[in-house]
Chains A and B, each alone.
Chain A
Amino acid sequence: MGLREKLDELRQQGLKDVDNSEDLDRINDIRVRLLGKKGPIKEALRGMRELSADERPKIGQFANEIRDDLTKAIDKRREELEFAKINAQLEQETIDVTLPGSEVAQGQPHVIQQIIDELVDLFVGMGYEVAVGDEVEEDHYNFEMLNLPKDHPARDMQDTFYVTPEVLMRTQTSPMQARMLEKHDFSKGPLKMISPGKVYRRDTDDATHSHQFHQVEGMVIGKHITMADLKGTLEVVAQELFGDELQVRLRPSYFPFTEPSVEADITCFNCLGKGCAICKHTGWIEVLGAGMTHPNVLKMAGIDPEVYGGFAFGLGPDRFAMLKYGVEDIRDFYQNDVRFLTQFDQKG
């Protein structure tokens, strides 16, 4: 048998052995045995000395081809076996991915806080400053400075927790209007402020009344502030909170600290204006009170109403939350049942 035939036979046998090997150890053995220094190919090539000078390179090249073929076959087979081994291991490691994941403790902001933050961000984005006032106020700022003198009928409407004849739990966040008007430097431009916070009324708590609730009030006073600006602002607020497909309707109202005064209604988001129980079959839901700041309020704060003017508006986050989420009992906001608190976890 010639050298070439011998080599070819080695190749055939080697490829067969590789194909038949079933584990990685065996394939390693084959590699060492066939391609190692003492392997049959090296052994066979020792017979090259006996070949002619022009046969020699041909056989050498042939031997290299065989070595490459075998190496490729071994690598391929090893990959196959490794892959099979990993697959077997992975199959063993299979878990029930439908079991629940580990619990991650995450707290939620209170729903009223969420509404307040949303409004604050909206107005801060429009260049308003946030003015947070005290919850215990003076009669002077809570009422008198807002054009509500001692015998004003509107004082009956809002029953008040007095501490002394001069000190009370604020019934509205509006005292901040008066305080900010006194403080603001109008040479630096208009005053644009929003004032969120807790307020108190002397009420018996039930499903629709609470002695404690929240208000967000805003005010803009400058040289060129118009009622059209008020209308535009109220539309932005209503649409931000309830969606911009809803219409806004203004109608006359009365507040001692604004004139003209308006109430802003939005199309009922439940029935889209057709009429339902939520909107008391009117198709509209009252969401905001507002108006052009009364000249007396400006005068009392030492501001000339002939030169400066503007608007104020107020709304109740508690009422918003009740409307928006269908909360039927206002006490739910202040009793803090964890099943209530953890529902408002939507951040998207």
Chain B
Amino acid sequence: MKVSYKWLQEYLDIDINPTDLAEKIARTSVDINDVYSPSDGLKKLVVGHIESVEPHPDSDHLTLCQVDNGEETVQIVCGAPNVVAGKNVIVALPGARIGNNIKIKRSKMRGEISEGMLCALQEIGFSEKIAPKAYDEGIWFLPDDAKPGESVFPYLGMDDTIIDTDITPNRGDMFSMLGNVNDIAAFYGLKSHFKTLNVKENSTTSTADLIKVQIDDTNLAPTYKLRVINNIEIKDSPMWMQIRLWNAGIRPINNVVDVTNYILLKYGQPLHSFDYDKLPEKEIKVRFAKKDEAFTTLDEDERKLNEQDVVVTAGDKPAALAGTMGGLDTAISNETKNVALEAAIFNPTLIRKQARRHDLHSESSTRFERGINPETVETALNEAAELIAELGNGTVATGIVTGSEAAINEPKVEMKLARINHVLGTQMKMEDVTNIFDRLAFDYNVDGDTITVTVPARRWDVSIEADLLEEIARIYGYDNLPSTLPEQTSNIGALSLRQNLIRSSRHVLEGEGLNQAISYSLTTNDKAEQFQIENHGTPMLLDYPMSQDHIATRMSLISGLLNDIAYNIARKQKDVRLYEQGRIFTTDNDGIRPLEQEHIAGAMTGQLLNNNWHQENHSVDFYDLKGIVERYLENMSLSGTVTFVPSNERAELHPGRTANIKLDDQLIGFIGQVHPQIAKEYKIPETYVFELNLEAIIEAPKQGRHYDEISKYPSIKRDIALLLDDNTLNSDITAAINKKGGSYLVDVHLFDVYQGAHLPAHKKSLAYTLTYQDKNGTLTEDQVNESFDKVVSYLTAEFDTEIR
């Protein structure tokens, strides 16, 4: 709410710098958006008196005005259609700064000197939405008694300071001057001089004879009251009221509408004024709208209502969308003579949903949503009726017609002093507490160390002990609370084994050169179901997504990484090495929610190293990524055996360059080249990927940290080269060697793979070094030869091979 500092000063004896006041409000009540003066950034704007107006000799729409600017009479060229001699106007002197940071200079317009500019409100910083409509096309006229040469700011209320508060949902009371005055009085310990205006019912007609109100469902309108003001004259409201409104961001319209808005600001009570004579029937009701019921609101928009909308009707015909916007047919116009004035409390939830549904968030609906002070419904109605009558020379009919009236609820809450200090960590005495409630003007009773507080209805956000503790804490001042730390517990803080393994997985892959990516978990339907380790079917879909790009929960991490690679490629980043650790979601379980699994995945494309003078570079290939995965899995110290098994059944991967990764018999992931067709769809070049199910790795038995004694005895090596069919798998050969290697074989190392000119077609050569060692003694050549020969003869028998 835009709170006027000058208005506050009418009710409170404060003389604090508004910025300091705002800081205090922020620390004690509600947040502050901004503190500003409407005149910020403007200068040299003075009252000018137009002495004469003549047509510009060289233009059909410009005029030459002789203007007394307080110092002298000067000529100013003006283009406004409403310019007229004898009026006081806003003059921007040469050197002035007006809205949008525009500087005014002495100039010539079509050959005629212009010593400044006559301004419209919009030209000195008023928004189009706020400047009164009557002056839309022309310059603004200042009061006739304004003195030429004086600054215009005081005449327009622009010398005020506005504290723009950002009100939390609970503090609906702060949407009024009354609420602000009460709170500021409380935290500064001031006395409030808030004044209300009483109504003088100066008509012999009784309101009840003019109109009836029938509220069948008090859930819709817990309080509903009406007054009628007769024989009024519609005109502009006085300057002081217009200033109040526009400084609060509300456009002045006429004396009736302005009064309702003024009262809204002052009490936080929205009012609605109907043109009494245009009400088709003089019986007001509140009901839910009918399905597709048509209703034209004030903004001339014909709306289709639904059964959740709440309407105020005259007879059965909708006259207003309750608490949100009035109807065009019954709106106040320049011809209005009699006014029916509504003060009500509508159901906050229904108003909120209705305002949202129709995108009609107004000053009124905001207040109804946040709650209305039941204590001031009638006060506000009376003051409004009186002001309308006064400003429009009308009469107020006798009595209020009440359709419903909510009971005023003033809960009593009992608290112990020890409890207060226990929760807040303070050492207050009872008198400190009572002092706070005195300032807040809450009634209380003290009995020993117990205080019973009666919460006034104007603070409907306060109802339980915790709420009162907040009142005590904020008035006491959060700055004054001590700073301590919670009691120590006996348990040692530590990551769980699972959390530790996930963290070290990240560290290992980073150490191996992969950068951590965090991609979107929500993706397209197609991408969500790609690259699953095991087929879990289709992804979970959002009921009401925001964008087609984020509609389904991912079932693998790779699709996100490929999006990331595509993003990099599109930005000319060709060498990309990424990994991601995160959740995937599977739906083929029984629960109402999907199963979430931690996975880890990687993707690489481009050159392994940057172009480098010193190192030989090459394009990333399968074995580069496999090395990373192997190293990672070794770091995880799994007890079981990891194998890479060729797989040509994964649709998204190259059928000849893909391996399933198995831990003993369990499938825990895969590695491979992205299928060129899929790569094309993602718009990425040759890319290698892997994905592992971290859950499987977390659950798998581990060897833990261990040590093997280093043998004191020498090892003996034998090399063997095998000529094989080119589809023979290395894993089969090493398995065979290990199978027949005997107990002294400690290592089998592949040191060469050759395929090419020196070999027959469809043949390849694999060369291995076998290392033999005995932990307990020195091996003899004979022992090794014996073992080695067994391997050779087994390989010869099992594989169509030639030993070279």
Residues in A lying within 8 Å of B, measured CB to CB: 99-103, 105-110, 112-113, 117, 120, 123-130, 132, 134-138, 151, 153-154, 156-157, 161-164, 166-167, 169, 188-190, 192, 198, 200, 202-205, 211-212, 220, 222, 224-229, 231-233, 235-236, 249-254, 259-263, 280, 282, 292, 294-295, 309-310, 333-339, 341-342
Contact = CB atoms under 8 A, between A and B. Distances in A.
Contact of B585 (A105, A112, A136, A260): A136
B513 A222 contact: no
B171 A254 contact: yes
Contacts of A163: 540-543
Nearest to B494: A124
Nearest to A165: B543
Given A167-B592, A251-B478, A212 B520 contact: yes
B210 interface: no
Q: Considering the complex of A and B, which 4 residue pairs feature the smallest CB-CB distances, nearest first?
A: A228-B425, A105-B513, A226-B425, A260-B470
Nearest to A114: B516
A162 B543 contact: yes
A220 B564 contact: no
A198 B568 contact: no
Given A100-B613, A161-B542, A295-B466, 8 more contacts: A106-B511, A110-B518, A113-B518, A135-B521, A161-B545, A164-B543, A169-B553, A228-B483
A162 B545 CA distance: 8
B614 A102 contact: yes
Contact of A335 (B469, B515, B567): B567
B34 to A, nearest CB: 8
A340 to B, nearest CB: 10
Interface in B493-548: 493-496, 499, 503, 506, 509-522, 540-547
**Contact size range, B:** 35 or more
A233 to B, nearest CB: 6
A345 to B, nearest CB: 9
Nearest to B507: A109
A285 to B, nearest CB: 13
Given A109-B506, A224-B487, A309 B423 contact: yes
Nearest to A256: B169
B571 A337 contact: yes
B610 interface: yes
Contacts of A134: 593, 596
24 contacts: A108-B515, A126-B485, A127-B491, A136-B585, A136-B594, A163-B542, A169-B542, A190-B486, A203-B546, A211-B546, A222-B487, A225-B486, A228-B484, A231-B484, A232-B482, A251-B27, A253-B168, A254-B170, A259-B464, A280-B34, A309-B423, A336-B519, A338-B575, A341-B517
A157 B168 CA distance: 11
A227 B567 contact: no
Contacts, number: 265
Interface stretch (B111-119, B576-584, B677-685, B756-764): B576-584
B522 A211 contact: yes
Contacts of A101: 614
B727 interface: no
A156 B482 CA distance: 36
A151 B349 contact: yes
Interface in B760-791: none
B286 to A, nearest CB: 19
B32 A198 contact: no
Interface string B458-493: 000000111101100110001101111111111111
B169 A254 contact: yes
Contacts of A123: 493
Interface centre among A100, A136, A205, A262 (most CB of B within 10 A): A136
B36 to A, nearest CB: 10
Nearest to A108: B515
Contacts of B518: 110, 112-113, 333-334, 336
B469 A260 contact: yes
Nearest to A214: B518
B516 to A, nearest CB: 4
B511 A107 contact: yes
Interface in B428-454: none
B352 interface: yes
Contacts of A120: 495
B29 interface: yes
Interface string B348-383: 110010001000000000000100000000000000
Contacts of A253: 31, 168
A235 B482 CA distance: 11
B716 interface: no
Nearest to B571: A337
B608 interface: yes
B609 interface: yes
A226 B484 contact: yes
B596 A136 contact: yes
A139 to B, nearest CB: 10
B495 A252 contact: no
B424 A107 contact: no
B550 interface: yes
Contacts of B550: 211
B273 interface: no
A138 B592 contact: yes
B425 A336 contact: no
B593 A137 contact: yes
A1 B486 CA distance: 104
Contact of A107 (B425, B494, B510, B544): B510
A15 B100 CA distance: 99
A132 B597 CA distance: 12
B488 A336 contact: no
Contact of B576 (A169, A232, A338): A338
B612 interface: yes
Nearest to B561: A336
B621 to A, nearest CB: 15
B249 to A, nearest CB: 19
B28 interface: yes
B422 interface: yes
B410 to A, nearest CB: 19
B604 to A, nearest CB: 10
Contacts of A164: 543, 592
A130 B495 contact: yes
A260 B499 contact: no
Given A107-B516, A229-B486, A263 B492 contact: no
B474 A260 contact: yes
Interface centre among B481, B482, B610 (most CB of A within 10 A): B481
Contacts of A132: 499
B510 A106 contact: yes
B493 A129 contact: yes
Given A202-B546, A204-B547, A229-B484, A110 B517 contact: yes
Given A190-B486, A227-B473, A259-B470, A338 B521 contact: no
B703 interface: no
A266 to B, nearest CB: 14
Contacts of A117: 503
Nearest to B541: A163
B485 A341 contact: no
B485 A236 contact: yes
B466 A259 contact: yes
A113 B506 contact: yes
Nearest to A281: B34
Contact of B578 (A138, A212, A336): A336
A346 to B, nearest CB: 14
B30 interface: yes
Interface string B225-239: 000000000000000
Given A123-B493, A226-B425, A135 B545 contact: no
A289 B510 CA distance: 33
Nearest to A191: B489
B541 A263 contact: no
A162 B541 CA distance: 9
Contacts of B348: 153
Contacts of A151: 349
A258 B514 CA distance: 41
